[in-house]
Amino acid sequence: MADVYDKTKRSAVMRNIKSKGNKSTELALIKLFQEQGIIGWRRGYPVKGHPDFVFLNKKVAIFVDGCFWHGHDCRNTHPKENEDFWSKKIGDNIKRDKAATEMFMNRGWTVIRVWECELKKKNRALLIEKLKGVLRG
């Protein structure tokens, strides 16, 4: 699939479209891949649905989601000001996330959603299990 943007420009465009503040969690996941010797991933692969990482040979798509922007219920993330604005925005993100997950699953892909909080030190062992469980298969 041809992309109208080159790689650098595409990342910049996608960063603007997607929720802000995703970059540090993506980098944390890359670090984890490297530490765990997980190879074969590609970041920001230009495929419809725009997962953060794909493993093309295993048909695995990984989305890294910020807890606030994607409505994770791991903590109280509701701001007091402009609550209507935020809940609509977060609600839209959740809908879009669901649609993207379904689209990939319908194509026979495995979808992994990595929450920001799963990259925290105390949760990392579980995350590694989750990733390896899928990627090993």
Which residues make up the interface to Zn ion (CB under 5 A)? 67, 72, 74, 115, 117
What is the smallest separation between the CB atom of 65 and Zn ion, expressed in angstroms? 8
**Which one, of 87, 55, 75, 76, lies nearest residue 118 by Cα?**
75
Nearer to Zn ion by Cβ, of 72 and 113: the residue is 72
Nearer to Zn ion by Cβ, of 47 and 117: the residue is 117
In the chain, the DSSP E strands lie at 42-43, 53-55, 60-65, 110-115
What is the smallest separation between the CB atom of 25 and Zn ion, expressed in angstroms? 10
8 Å CB contact between 71 and 90: yes
What is the smallest separation between the CB atom of 118 and Zn ion, expressed in angstroms? 7
